[in-house]
Structure 1
Amino acid sequence: MSVEKPFSQASANNRQPILEQLQQVFATPGTVLEIGTGTGQHAEYFAAALPHLQWQPSDHPEALWMCRQRLREAGLDNILEPLALDVGVTPWPVTACDAAFSANTAHIMAWPEVQAMFRGVAGLLPAEAVFCLYGPFNYQGKYTSDSNRRFDHYLRSQAEHMGIRDIADLKALAADLGMILEADHSMPANNRLLVWRRCSP
């Protein structure tokens, strides 16, 4: 009897718009670390569409099971074995990557975990490499839509540590770590794709 794989409708909906941006910023061969692989739908889709990349899935140890069956069945040579990665625990189980990607994680993580994610990425990326972060974000403390406001209230009702992050806070955090916001792309459903670039020393 086949086991139904975990599935995210949001991942199915947003994968193509995200891919169109990743095709531009992940144009050269290398290894991309994905933080928060979840169901593995993004990893499977992006690795298939970007065969010049080695895709390194990772997720919190308690969530890593969600992607394993899908990625195993995908049978793609450029998807590496998923890693158990708790962003707040050092050292990370990966020592180098050429780029990083994460979707819909910053509003789920506690703020100290967001800080830890940025620190970890900044420590891994070589100069001029990029970190693409997808999700909903606020600007100057304001929501970009009523749906994001409702979503934020829902998140905070589920757990105090969750919530939509403000671009200004992320920019300040990134700047302290030697990263700048190079691009901010509008995406469907009031989401954004933020492209952070690691500055040269």
Structure 2
Amino acid sequence: MTGAEQRHAPATLRNRDAIVAVLETILPSSGTVLEIASGTGEHAIYFGRKFPQLIFQPSDPDPVNQQSIAAWTARENVANILSPLELDTMARRWNIEQPVAILCINMIHIAPWEASIGLFEKAGKLLASGAPLFLYGPYFRDDVETAQGNLDFERSLKSRNLQWGLRDVADIDGLASSNGFVRESLTEMPANNISLVYRKS
């Protein structure tokens, strides 16, 4: 694969260590971790190196991103990264074996609300009791004043697609509860983002 196929997301370098710090507290000691909306594939590569005892299954509905994931995996030669799957949270079903955890980084706000619904519905069916679902990104919170940067980002998202936008943590909690999840933690992260960890009950 050519270097042109390897896409780069600058935010990855800013947030990957903060994400790993949370993942170290929630990921099991073995099994396959499914990443939804893997984007460029840079997170999957980094996580694969940090957690060599786990297998990482990246996925993305975009063929260009799938090529980037495959290109990064080939270049970095990380043995515990599987070939990317074409998964869409709004598809009727996922043809995948049960993972021990699901990660979803920076997708919720750059997708219609139906994508969040699909994510939780499928995660609720796939994950075993006690397994974690990890989310990362910017969110609105009733008890915290929204940073100006996130308000500007929200306007930018809406200008590109009215179905996109920052979601309220309370709405995500409600969606989680209706699919058999309980929120375990909320952690402040770089650049006014947060991580949300849910456990299948």
Same-fold status (TM-score > 0.5): yes
Equivalent position to 1:88, from 71, 90, 95: 90
Size of the aligned set, in residue pairs, is 199
Deviation at 1:90, TM superposition (A): 2.2
Quote the Cα distance in structure 1 between the aligned partners of 2:100 and 2:189.
24
- Residue matched to 1:40: 41
Equivalent position to 1:117, from 111, 119, 134: 119
What is the identity, as a one-letter code, of the residue corresponding to 2:43? H
Quote the Cα distance in structure 1 between the aligned partners of 2:13 and 2:95.
28
The answer (yes or no) to whether the contact 2:132–2:199 under 8 Å persists in 1 is yes
Quote the Cα distance in structure 1 between the aligned partners of 2:56 and 2:30.
11
Equivalent position to 1:168, from 170, 174, 181: 170
Deviation at 1:143, TM superposition (A): 5.3
- Residue matched to 1:3: 3
3-state DSSP class of the match of 2:3? coil
Quote the Cα distance in structure 1 between the aligned partners of 2:145 and 2:91.
31
Seq. identity, %: 34
- Residue matched to 2:78: 76
1:26-77 deviation line (CA, Å, top 9, x unaligned): 1421111000111111000011010111100000143322312011222122
- Residue matched to 2:188: 186
The answer (yes or no) to whether the contact 1:137–1:164 under 8 Å persists in 2 is yes
What is the identity, as a one-letter code, of the residue corresponding to 2:116? V
- Residue matched to 2:139: 137
Quote the Cα distance in structure 1 between the aligned partners of 2:124 and 2:41.
24
Quote the Cα distance in structure 2 between the aligned partners of 1:72 and 1:160.
37
The answer (yes or no) to whether the contact 1:137–1:143 under 8 Å persists in 2 is no
Higher helix content, 1 or 2: 2
- Residue matched to 1:22: 23
The answer (yes or no) to whether the contact 1:84–1:93 under 8 Å persists in 2 is no
Quote the Cα distance in structure 1 between the aligned partners of 2:113 and 2:121.
12
Deviation at 1:122, TM superposition (A): 1.2
Please, which runs of 5 or more residues in structure 2 have no aligned partner?
A: none
The answer (yes or no) to whether the contact 2:181–2:198 under 8 Å persists in 1 is yes
The answer (yes or no) to whether the contact 2:184–2:199 under 8 Å persists in 1 is yes
Quote the Cα distance in structure 2 between the aligned partners of 1:115 and 1:49.
30
What is the identity, as a one-letter code, of the residue corresponding to 2:161? A
Residue pairs, 1:95-110, within 5 angstroms: 95-110=97-112
RMSD across aligned C-alpha pairs, in angstroms? 1.6
Quote the Cα distance in structure 2 between the aligned partners of 1:45 and 1:91.
28
Residue 149 of structure 2 is aligned to residue 147 of structure 1: yes
Quote the Cα distance in structure 2 between the aligned partners of 1:159 and 1:91.
25
In the TM superposition, structure 1's runs of 4+ consecutive aligned residues that sit over 4 Å from their partners are none
Quote the Cα distance in structure 2 between the aligned partners of 1:117 and 1:89.
10
Deviation at 1:144, TM superposition (A): 2.4
Quote the Cα distance in structure 2 between the aligned partners of 1:78 and 1:39.
17
